[in-house]
């Protein structure tokens, strides 16, 4: 039997390793590599050359959506399945536009993740029921859509990255090291984005990042853990 090579990208090591263990038990799958997000993640994915890439949207200093865009432009044969807590209309619509092969919510069962992966291998797309329902609602009732894309549109790509890093609690120096730029450059981007969004302090930055879906609530992973028993149980539970 030909096995599907998988690669997992998620910043939460407990979730990533637990999911990898579950997927590795499948007769038709093998986890080739797993890693957290970072500036070298795209090159690592290209080197690993998996059949299916499973990744979160919200990653340190970058976005799973940006990663998928780059991978699809360079190696379109690699299938991409987003496994994320984000169900914002903006993220879902962007994912569909860039060619994501699956969009699964993190409260899904392992069975649903397996369906998404196997569908991707067969060139079929899979969306979690809640996500597909949201797309239909957004189409039928566009006036009720509360997409915040216009606020992000005023920021440059680097400003978005700085916004996310600051909201995650990094100092200017730490963000600078992550982005391989000087602290003064980060400070400049920080001042610019705060001016554009009308923010006054670090608390405002965190609140806006949460509202825009750039970061999860800090308590998210502290209240959730992977269940590694029977495959029909939820992957993530309260």
Please state the domain extents for the chain: 4-141+219-237, 149-211
* Confidence at residue 232, expressed as pLDDT on a 0 to 100 scale: 40
pTM of the predicted model as reported, rounded to 2 decimal places: 0.62
* Confidence at residue 133, expressed as pLDDT on a 0 to 100 scale: 61
Instruction: Please state the φ and ψ torsions of residue 27, each to the nearest 5 degrees.
Output: -65, -25
* Confidence at residue 234, expressed as pLDDT on a 0 to 100 scale: 41
* Confidence at residue 227, expressed as pLDDT on a 0 to 100 scale: 35
User: What fold does the segment set 4-141+219-237 form as a domain?
Assistant: Rossmann fold (3.40.50)
Cα–Cα distance between 25 and 105 in angstroms, integer? 21
User: What fold does the segment set 149-211 form as a domain?
Assistant: Arc Repressor Mutant, subunit A (1.10.10)
* Confidence at residue 78, expressed as pLDDT on a 0 to 100 scale: 97
Q: Identify which of 76, 70, 72 has the alpha carbon closest to the alpha carbon of residue 41.
A: 70
**45, 71 Cβ separation under 8 angstroms:** yes
Q: Judge residue 53's burial from the number of C-beta atoms within 10 Å of its C-beta, 0-12 exposed, 13-18 middle, 19 or more buried.
A: buried
Residue-by-residue pLDDT tens, the chain, 238 positions: 789 999 999 999 999 999 999 999 999 999 999 999 888 899 999 999 999 999 999 998 889 999 999 999 999 999 999 999 888 777 888 888 899 999 999 988 999 999 999 999 999 999 888 776 656 555 544 544 444 555 666 778 788 888 888 888 889 998 888 888 899 999 999 998 888 888 888 888 887 777 666 776 543 333 333 333 333 444 433 3
Cα–Cα distance between 175 and 211 in angstroms, integer? 21
Is there a shared CATH topology between the 4-141+219-237 domain and the 149-211 domain? no
* Confidence at residue 168, expressed as pLDDT on a 0 to 100 scale: 82
In the structure encoding, which two tokens stand for residue 177, read together? 């090291």
């Amino acid at each position: 039997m030909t096995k599907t090579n998988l690669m997992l990208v998620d910043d939460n090591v407990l979730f990533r390793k637990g999911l990898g263990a579950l997927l590795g038990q499948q007769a038709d799958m093998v986890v080739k590599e797993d890693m957290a997000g970072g500036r070298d993640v795209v090159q690592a994915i290209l080197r690993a050359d998996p059949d299916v890439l499973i990744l979160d949207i919200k990653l340190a200093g970058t976005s799973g959506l940006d990663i998928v865009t780059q991978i699809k432009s360079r190696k379109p044969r690699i299938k991409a399945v987003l496994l994320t807590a984000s169900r914002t209309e903006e993220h879902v619509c962007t994912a569909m536009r860039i060619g994501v092969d699956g969009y699964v919510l993190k409260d899904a069962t392992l069975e649903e993740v397996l369906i998404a992966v196997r569908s991707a291998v067969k060139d079929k797309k899979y969306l979690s029921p809640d996500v597909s329902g949201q797309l239909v609602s957004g189409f039928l009732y566009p006036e009720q859509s509360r997409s915040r894309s216009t606020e992000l549109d005023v920021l440059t790509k680097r400003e978005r990255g700085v916004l996310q890093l600051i909201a995650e609690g990094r100092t200017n120096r730490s963000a600078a090291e992550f982005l391989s730029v000087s602290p003064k450059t980060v400070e400049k981007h920080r001042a610019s984005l705060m001016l554009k969004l009308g923010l006054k302090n670090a608390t405002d930055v965190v609140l806006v990042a949460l509202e825009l879906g750039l970061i999860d609530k800090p308590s998210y992973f502290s209240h959730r853990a992977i269940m590694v028993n029977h495959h029909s149980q939820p992957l993530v539970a309260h």
